Structure 1
Amino acid sequence: MSVFSPIPLGQRIPGSPHSVACSLPTMRDVIGYEEGRPETTRHIASGYPRFVVHTHAKRLCEYLGRRPELAGKSLWLVTSARMAASFAHYLGRTDQAAARPFSVEGLDGVAHIDTPELNARGKVYLQNIGGFLSSRAAEDHLVRLGLLPAVAPEKLFAGDAVAEIRRVLRGPFPVADADLLLAPSGMNALYAAFRAISTVQARAGRTAWVQLGWLYLDSIALLRKFTPDPARDYLRHGDVTDLAGLEKLLATHGPRLAGLIIEAPTNPLIQTADIAAVTALARRHGAKVILDPAVSSPFNVDLLPHADLVATSLTKYTAHEGDVIAGAVVVNATRPDAAELRGLVGAQLEPVHARDLARLAAQIDATSGVVARINASTRQVAAFLESHPAVEKVWWALQPATRASYLKIARTPESAGSMISFTLKGPLAKFYDAVRLPKGPSFGMTTTLISPFIYLAHYDLVTSEAGRAELAAHGLSPDLLRLSVGTEPVDAIIAALSEALD
């Protein structure tokens, strides 16, 4: 009997009120979710926290909406008063009277006139930079206000949570406490790192940023939206293996270069550049480098020696039980401007809610063991998929095309991470609907997860001819599946895949 049971549409994965994934068991559900169809969305109480406003936050907004000054407005709850001010300013670009920050009953947020355009822009802005109030913070406010009897029971770290998190993270990052800064999400970490380097480099007229390879959607959005002049300052180099082409791009724009954002490996194609060679090129041209190890985890790849700043998600692998969203920025103290970057990053980061820290600290000590188990299983699952006649192509950390570059940064030859992407020779929907694995976003959990990643991340591209052409130009199939291998028995994972493939 399979260890995997069907998970109904919208059910939280793994089941905590603060779970970072929810079940989308069929392609019809995926499309219904992306298109906002009521027959789908009414089942979804929560989802990945930067994409789906949590029911606790919605309940708080309903409560605040009874106040006369907020009645009839769209309300957003955010991480701090500073975030509220920044958010209101962003929305106010189109209508100076449209949005205003508020601070009411210990809650910071933004109120604006209720229009579809502003609602959409507001949601995406907070998604891009990680500004939403956390679900645990919202839960604590509900209890304080008498709107909820008690918080959901969970295991929390009893001591100094920040010290415990830093103690464990000093394994992959042997740095001083001042150089390891925590964030409420991986995207807030990346945004703070990007802002810090942008500030330092702008003094020399350096405003251009390079995207190397295809990045995670919100990392791309950060460069597309927040460079000073995206038409001029957002530069792309699609082939992570093409050093000669990258050198030509950097030489062309050298005096204007601010930095590069590099995922090592990339998401979702899991490709790895020759990081030492790329960063040497960047430094030669005066550009700084942000490296993101989230796909494989800092416990599997060693990037700090090559980076000015490492920005990563702690939601993946360290919060492996799948119920905390957090991030970190690590400063390479040996690099020029390290002291200034440290201060600027700290000033940009949003605060992390205390109970999120306590929950992360309660599980982070097990990370090394969890990662080792995942690594071993991923190698077996990748071998199975590579040999199956129904599978068209497989991407993973040790794929032949970039294996050598990956092994240069891998902590051990076994350090594969959890992620495998693949395409099929047959129909996507038939396989996806049939496979008996948990289906939802995120990765790096003890729970195995599979998703039609391009549909979830880039539905706008999947559904247009121009978008599909853009995906194809970057080697991305709309039907790509992203699998995150968990810690269940590997034979059960392979059996579930085999059943649906045969």
Structure 2
Amino acid sequence: MRDVRGYEEKDPATMAQLASGYPRFLVHPFSRQLIAHYTATVPALAGRTLWLTSSSRMADNLATLLAAKTKGAKLFSSDGLSGVSHPVSPELYALAKTYLQNIGGFISSREAEDHLLRLKLIPARFAEKTFPGDAGAEVRRVLRTALPDTTDDDLLLAPSGMNAIHAAFRASASLQAERGRTVWLQLGWLYLDTIAILKRFTSTPADYVYVRDPLDQDAIARIFAKHGARIAGVVAELPTNPLIQTPDLAAISHLCRQHGAHLILDPSVASVFALKILHHADSIASSLTKYTASEGDLTAGLVAINPAGRDADELRRRAAAEVEPPYFRELARLAAEIGETEAVLAKIQANTARVVAYLENHPKVRDVYWALHPASRENYQRIARTPEATGGMISFTLRAPMEPFYDRLRLPKGPSFGMKTTLICSFMYLAHYDLVTTPAGIAELAASRIDPDILRLCCGVEPVEEIIGAIAEALA
């Protein structure tokens, strides 16, 4: 936990040890090396901060954002690369980094690697297995096994889950705004960058509505009854993160269709391979970083348009215009991994059920949340592909302070999930450090019934006895 705090507070002693990290939060070493090359060799970049982006369009958007704060932001283009430079400034740095983090706009690490190789700054590419044919076609072919009523045109691939969510949201929001609909409902506590997108891109602060309890169907119905003509749509995770709650999807879908609102669903916590939900939604926006990229070595995302939705053609067109192009080598790597998804999920889910049973029966564990938690088990089971299809996420709290347990626990620790490797984190400290360290923040979490010390565990494919053994050792 000392290192978690050190990372969040940018303690030099901690940051010096971080060679890399989750690639929307820490700029990848290849990208940093490439940026250092250009700032050292291009005179116009001397003494400036440079960001390399996923496309020229992303660079244009970033430059427009920075122009509101400085006249010194300049577009950068060289050797097929796009980016933005600006004067050195902590404020501008934070603004640019947060924007690119929120919507997944950084250059791909594999694209940066290829440029380093071209410039002879590295001797060779990292050796890895890739798909030899049309990688995009292969990824879509496998995805259609989970989304069988779709065509290739309905499946839009993105460089990250957040870019997929951004594209799906902007597509719906722009269409609905033309109809005078600007209010968006957030069902339950969502992932931090999804919340950031909703707050950043809704028309006014009043158009962002946080529904604290996604299981309170009566409250949701009352909101629609009062404001239905102004509601543009609903964004929901299935299940939510980190409380792993599943709202009554059929009822929410009915309300949305009855009132002309769009429904955007994010099944990243459990995976599109675990759930049958597209027919309820207008679009799905999901991370493919989780479960489908189970080696944990790339980011990717998906926007899936419900072809039977009333606005399907227009949403397909608008989302395609918003989504960033995945780099071809990222797709080639994803295509080499995605075929394992169902087998990996089966093992993860078998382990998850065993770990949940252990935690629920341990006297030092207070609360355990997972897809089959009694509070929303029936809602989840109605959309699960099979009784075993739970995903791999477990959140739990302890009856004693969390920190000694976390420090003793000999499991890999980090902020992602859905990998072959078991991973645990003190989620609220990593995602919402500002909330867990202030009285107002703690009050906000309490109002949402979230313990600041909640731990988020996602099982991997290791022998389950090893996972349970590590937890038992730390609880002893």
Q: TM-score when scaled to structure 1?
A: 0.94
Q: Secondary structure at the match of 2:229?
A: helix
Matches for 1:5-24 after TM superposition, within 5 Å: none
Q: 1:234 — aligned with what?
A: 208
Q: Distance in 1 between matches of 2:73 and 2:218?
A: 47
Q: 1:486 — aligned with what?
A: 460
Q: Which runs of 5+ in 2 are unaligned?
A: none
Which of these residues, 45, 62, 69, is aligned with residue 87 of structure 1? 62
Q: 1:29 — aligned with what?
A: 3
Q: Distance in 1 between matches of 2:145 and 2:472?
A: 37
Q: 1:422 — aligned with what?
A: 396
Q: Secondary structure at the match of 1:261?
A: strand
Amino acid paired to 2:249:
I
Q: Distance in 1 between matches of 2:404 and 2:72?
A: 46
Amino acid paired to 2:156:
L
RMSD over equivalenced CA pairs, Å: 0.8
Tell me by how many angstroms 1:159 deviates.
Answer: 1.0
Q: Distance in 1 between matches of 2:352 and 2:342?
A: 15
Which of these residues, 398, 401, 406, is aligned with residue 432 of structure 1? 406
Checking the alignment, whether the CA contact within 8 Å between 1:85 and 1:100 is kept in structure 2 is no
Q: 1:11 — aligned with what?
A: none
Q: Distance in 1 between matches of 2:104 and 2:203?
A: 20
Q: 1:180 — aligned with what?
A: 155
Q: Secondary structure at the match of 1:170?
A: helix
Tell me by how many angstroms 1:203 deviates.
Answer: 1.1
Q: Distance in 2 between matches of 1:258 and 1:98?
A: 37
Q: Which runs of 5+ in 1 are unaligned?
A: 1-26
Matches for 1:121-160 after TM superposition, within 5 Å: 121-160=95-134
Q: Distance in 2 between matches of 1:272 and 1:388?
A: 25
Checking the alignment, whether the CA contact within 8 Å between 2:60 and 2:75 is kept in structure 1 is yes
Q: 1:390 — aligned with what?
A: 364
Q: 1:199 — aligned with what?
A: 174
Q: 2:427 — aligned with what?
A: 453
Q: Distance in 1 between matches of 2:342 and 2:173?
A: 34
Q: 2:261 — aligned with what?
A: 287
Listed one character per residue, the Cα deviations across residues 378-411 of structure 1 (whole Å, up to 9, x for unaligned) are 0010010011001011100000000000001001
Amino acid paired to 1:186:
G
Tell me by how many angstroms 1:101 deviates.
Answer: 1.6
Q: 1:363 — aligned with what?
A: 337
1:224 aligns to 2:223 (yes or no) = no
Listed one character per residue, the Cα deviations across residues 102-157 of structure 1 (whole Å, up to 9, x for unaligned) are 11122100101111011011111001000000111111110011111111111111
Listed one character per residue, the Cα deviations across residues 332-379 of structure 1 (whole Å, up to 9, x for unaligned) are 011111011101111111010111001101111011100011111100
Q: Distance in 2 between matches of 1:199 and 1:453?
A: 32
Listed one character per residue, the Cα deviations across residues 171-197 of structure 1 (whole Å, up to 9, x for unaligned) are 111110100110000000000000100
Tell me by how many angstroms 1:255 deviates.
Answer: 1.7
Q: 1:6 — aligned with what?
A: none
1:330 aligns to 2:304 (yes or no) = yes
Q: Distance in 2 between matches of 1:44 and 1:106?
A: 29
Q: Distance in 1 between matches of 2:232 and 2:111?
A: 36
Checking the alignment, whether the CA contact within 8 Å between 2:69 and 2:92 is kept in structure 1 is no
Tell me by how many angstroms 1:438 deviates.
Answer: 0.6
Structure 1 runs of 4+ with >2 Å offset: none
Q: Distance in 2 between matches of 1:308 and 1:289?
A: 5
1:346 aligns to 2:323 (yes or no) = no
Q: 2:44 — aligned with what?
A: 69
Residue identity over aligned pairs, in percent, reads 57
Q: 2:34 — aligned with what?
A: 60
1:318 aligns to 2:292 (yes or no) = yes
Q: Distance in 1 between matches of 2:174 and 2:199?
A: 17
Size of the aligned set, in residue pairs, is 474
1:48 aligns to 2:22 (yes or no) = yes
Q: Distance in 2 between matches of 1:359 and 1:182?
A: 14
Amino acid paired to 2:360:
E
Checking the alignment, whether the CA contact within 8 Å between 2:50 and 2:86 is kept in structure 1 is yes
Tell me by how many angstroms 1:226 deviates.
Answer: 1.0
Tell me by how many angstroms 1:33 deviates.
Answer: 0.5
